[in-house]
Structure 1
Amino acid sequence: MDVNGVFKTIEEENISFLDFWFVDIFGELHRVGMPSYAVSEENFENGLEKLDASSIVGFKAVNRSDMILKPDPSTFRILPPDYDNHRKNARIICDIYEGNTTESSRYNRDSRGITHKANQKLTEAGLTHTNWGPEVEFFVFDAINVYPSPYAATHSYGGSGYSIESKESPWSKGNISTAIDIKEGYYPSQPKDTLETFRKDICDDLYQYFGIKIEAEHHEVATSGQCEINLVYDEMTKMADNIVSVKNVVRVKARRRNKVATFMPKPIYGDNASAMHTHQSLWNGKTNAMYDPDDDIAQLSQIGRYYVGGILEHAQALCAITNPTTNSYKRLVPGFEAPVNMCWGMGNRSAAIRVPMYYRNQEKSKRIEYRVPDPTANIYLLEAALLLAGLDGIKRKIDPGSPVEENVYRLSPEKKREYKIGSLPVSLKGALDALKSDMGFLEEVFTKDFLDKYMDIKYKEYVAFAQTPTAWEVSMYTDA
């Protein structure tokens, strides 16, 4: 949709307010609303003088805080109805600029801008576009109670704790018909799956209002409302926009049902965690550059193998972006279907990279699946970083080695050394240290300024976590 189409739709659909969306460097959604009568064509041409960037974490200092939001008319969508259904709203996603709106003034810490710059690197490899298909996993609880308060919990003044309430949980009383035991939540039917209608309502809204096509929805392995929604593949920036929309709709719909949705990877001890497995393919026009029908092993082209090699080469550094929280590393442990080893395989879910092998001789569906990321990642940065790592593999012709078809979790240390299988970081600090020593493949697009600010904030986050006592430690060590 162009600018004229936006104003035509506003008039025809009687849109009251226009919400302008953008994300910060960690992918958190922000918005500012304007009455539709106050929006002009000039706002699209010159941008909105509405952003105090010093108030956004990781953006600008207070003495240089004036920035511009430039709406992208192609992202115009009518939003689902308000609470009482009396007002129609629409949204537009914005790009962020410095004091003017020339392309050279695009703000270097604008996540969407980083995706755009990464996408432009495709031409150097003789490619036209990429397709992406994340699998979004999340939990929906009846309640999360933090004691004595969320602030006290993050500082542990006087102690803290939490409890999770869910009709599906095995620890809840009186829910025999809906209780799902640990690791037994994969594809249950009603009544155990208490969120089937909730997920279908989300899928309906995503398609009706946002034009986002859904491949499938289902309950995931964990108890207590672990959900998964799979999106039909799309190009890079469009898919990143879609993921932002999905996460917002999930949270809003849960809140309206007096539930709480969380994309936190590992909220439940001893159970599976939430991932964001990311499918990706490379294209030159209508030709899938990852497909080679003459390859006897995986029908994966040499370019596809080099791309895999690049991601594995930089996998440890990538974790700082694909798994950006301290909680992320409670997921990346053996025994819960999460990858902990840097290798690739065909249809092998114990490897970091899986080449799906449902069908042979299907050029359209040939892709790789990177199984490391979780849904706390900023999707714009995640896509950009994975693409740059893969393109570095193509440029340097990095061989990923032979695919591993064994269960990697059960390999001995000797076998792992024989197969040259490395390990992913076990903490956020380890991931940040890896990125600090291996950021060259990102710097041209992400810029050193962005990476330095990102790592500075994340190091502080890790330090705060590392010095905060937990209920587990108090229970374990009080009598030590």
Structure 2
Amino acid sequence: MSKKNSKEELLRKAKELEVEFIHLQFTDILGVMKNVSITIEQLEKALDNEIMFDGSSIDGFVRIEESDMYLRPDISTFEVFPWVNHSKEARLICDVYKADGTPFDGCPRNTLKKVIKEAADMGYMFNVGPECEFFLFHTDERGEPSLETHDNAGYFDLAPIDLGGNARKEMTTTLKEMGFQIEASHHEVAPGQHEIDFEYADALTTADNIMTFKMVVRIIAQRHGLHATFMPKPKYGINGSGMHINMSLATLEGKNAFYEESNYMQFSQTAFNFLGGVVKHAKAFASLTNPTVNSYKRLVPGYEAPVMIAWSASNRSPLIRIPAKRGQSTRIELRNPDPSANPYLALAAILKAGLDGIKNKIDPPAPVTKNLYKMSDKELKERGIESLPSNLYEAVQELAKDDVIKDAIGEHVFNRFTDAALYEWNAYSRYISEWELDRYLRKF
């Protein structure tokens, strides 16, 4: 749509498609999608940024005395839901604004936009391709999720062993109908675990796509009598779900800024400095890429999830891997994020870390070719290889010490996010688990 006539074109398109309801979607600080539904008769009002909601009712937004918030739809995100059969429904992803017409600094989408602008001012566009994993579980007789997997398949297995194949196929088809370019879908390592990969895009589009992806996967799973979860580690003893982030910078002319044929590894100095910034700030942004108590149950040795802050061109045990493809495909793969992350905040923090590396010419440490899980503590210490935070509390403490990452998310988000994380940590710390009862009730 042309910018000048996009509003009129969208109104005409919605009428031609006989859309009856529009869902105005936005994301709260914890990464939960929220929604205000309107009828087609209210669409023009929404496009004029006149739809208001009570921000005090949303976790981490504002106090009750400053509750009036406005939704500003991004017209480019208009999509009709392909799974609705009776009355047609569509969605628009929105930014949250204050009553005075200024962007609300507690809106995660606004947070990411701010850091994207910083990159643009430096001459770069941030491109991101996620690898989203999830589990499919059966539901019980009440429709509640169980931990019973729908199969006993493994990595890349096919039907009939992979009984989730039909659900995954419909998820893929639905995503394609909503404009996704699907690159691959397959069964993952653990029973009931799946992955669907979609094509990279600019960071804002990718963050929007991750939120849409989660919504579609859950809805289609439900239609198959299954429950889809993006919980990082739902079962003990098996691999958890990650959301590896493949990323690169492009110049404003579209050239991959990470590729330089004549340099070591055909990696540009810009790429090495970006990598250096990511390594330097990895501990601090862990609370944003891995934001739950459960996230750190995944980040343990032995289950393919990274623990040590290091990088390699081929080794998959470090935090960061450099895939082999070069040219326009030159990129960095960050392996610790998980799908419980708020994608807007996570990408804002990662990008800010990389930009800091470029601005301050931060060189990364030497690459690691050896399996980190087989290195002794002494060897790790001698090489200066540190680990990610071991739990959510440690991660929040690291965030609080890092002014660069705090600046990326802003004071409002930092305060609300850390309050919520510490509340969760304190609740978890006081909870008496089944493990404790099994271990101690008869023993002492």
- Per the shorter chain, which TM-score range? over 0.9
Q: Equivalent of 2:25, from 3, 21, 24?
A: 21
What is the match of residue 100 of structure 2? Answer: 100
Would the alpha carbon gap of residues 28 and 272 (structure 1) be closer, same or farther in structure 2, given more than 3 Å must change?
same
Label 1:144 to 1:24 Cα distance change in 2 as closer, same or farther (>3 A): farther
Give yes or no for contact 1:68–1:100 (8 Å, CA) kept in 2.
Answer: no
Q: 2:93 is matched by which residue type in structure 1? A: I
Structure 2 unaligned segments of length 5 or more: list them: none
- For 2:123 and 2:69, how far apart are their aligned partners in 1? 35
Q: What displacement does 1:144 show?
A: 6.7
Shift of 1:453: 1.4
Out of 384, 387, 390, the residue aligned to residue 348 of structure 2 is 384
Q: Distance in 1 between matches of 2:263 and 2:375?
A: 27
After TM superposition, the structure 1 = structure 2 runs for residues 260-271 of structure 1, keeping only pairs within 5 Å, are: 260-271=227-238
Q: Is the 8 A contact 2:167 2:224 kept in 1?
A: no
**Residue deviations 1:359-416, cap 9 Å, x none?**
4xx3110000000100000001111100000111111111111111111111111221
Listed as ranges, the matches of 1:154-233 within 5 Å are 164-168=147-151, 179-180=152-153, 185-208=154-177, 210-223=178-191, 225-233=192-200
Partner of 2:375: 411
Matched letter for residue 34 of structure 2: H
Q: Distance in 2 between matches of 1:474 and 1:95?
A: 46
- String of CA shifts for 1:216-267, please: whole Å, max 9, x gaps: 00000011x1000111000111111111100000011111222111000101
Q: Is the CA contact (8 Å cut-off) linking 1:215 and 1:232 kept in structure 2?
A: yes
Partner of 2:386: 422
In structure 2, distance between residues paired with 1:434 and 1:249: 34
- Is the contact between residue 135 and residue 229 of structure 2 (CA under 8 Å) also seen in structure 1? yes
2:255 to 281, 287, 298: 287
Provide Cα deviations, 1:341-369, integer angstroms capped at 9, x if missing partner. Answer: 00000122101010001x4xx31100000
The reply to whether residue 452 of structure 1 matches residue 435 of structure 2 is no
Q: Deviations over 1:76-128 (max 9, x none)?
A: 1111232xx11111100011000033xxx10001010011101001134332x
Task: Give me the whole-angstrom Cα distance separating, in 2, the residues matched to 1:403 and 1:13.
Answer: 54
Q: What CA distance in whole angstroms lies between the structure 2 residues aligned with 1:222 and 1:119?
A: 36
Aligned twin of 1:87:
87
The amino acid that maps onto 1:195 is G
Cα pair distance change 1:167/1:8, threshold 3 Å: same
Match of 1:369 among 333, 354, 363: 333
Q: CA deviation at 1:417?
A: 2.0
Per the alignment, do residues 371 and 291 of structure 1 end up closer, same or farther by CA in structure 2, a change over 3 Å counting?
same
Aligned partner of 1:277 in structure 2 is 244
Alignment correspondent of 2:72: 70
TM-fit CA distance, 1:145: 9.4
Match of 2:137 among 137, 141, 149: 141
Q: CA 1:70–1:123 in structure 2 vs 1: closer, same or farther (change >3 Å)? A: closer
In structure 2, relative to structure 1, the CA distance for the partners of 1:39 and 1:192 (3 Å cut) is: same
Read off the aligned partner of 1:344 and give its amino acid letter: W
Q: Aligned with 1:311: secondary structure?
A: helix
- For residues 163 and 76 of structure 1, the distance between their equivalents in structure 2, rounded to whole angstroms, comes to 34
SS at the partner of 2:100? coil
Matches of 1:39 and 1:131, distance apart in 2? 31
| 2:42 pairs with one of 38, 43, 58 | 38
Give the conservation status (yes or no) of the 8 Å contact 1:290–1:303. Answer: yes
Distance 1:308 1:115 in 2: 19
Give the superposed CA RMSD. Answer: 1.7
Paired with 1:22 and 1:370, the residues of 2 have a C-alpha distance of: 26
Q: 1:196 to 1:472 in 2, by over 3 A?
A: same
* Secondary structure in 1 matching 2:48: helix
Query: Which letter does structure 2 place at the counterpart of 1:135?
Result: E
Q: Does the residue aligned with 2:266 lie in a helix, a strand or coil? A: coil
Against the structure 1 CA distance between its residues 275 and 339, is the aligned structure 2 distance closer, same or farther, given a 3 Å change threshold? same
Q: 1:17 to 1:163 in 2, by over 3 A?
A: closer
Q: Secondary structure at the match of 2:93?
A: strand
CA contact (8 A) 2:259 2:327 kept: yes
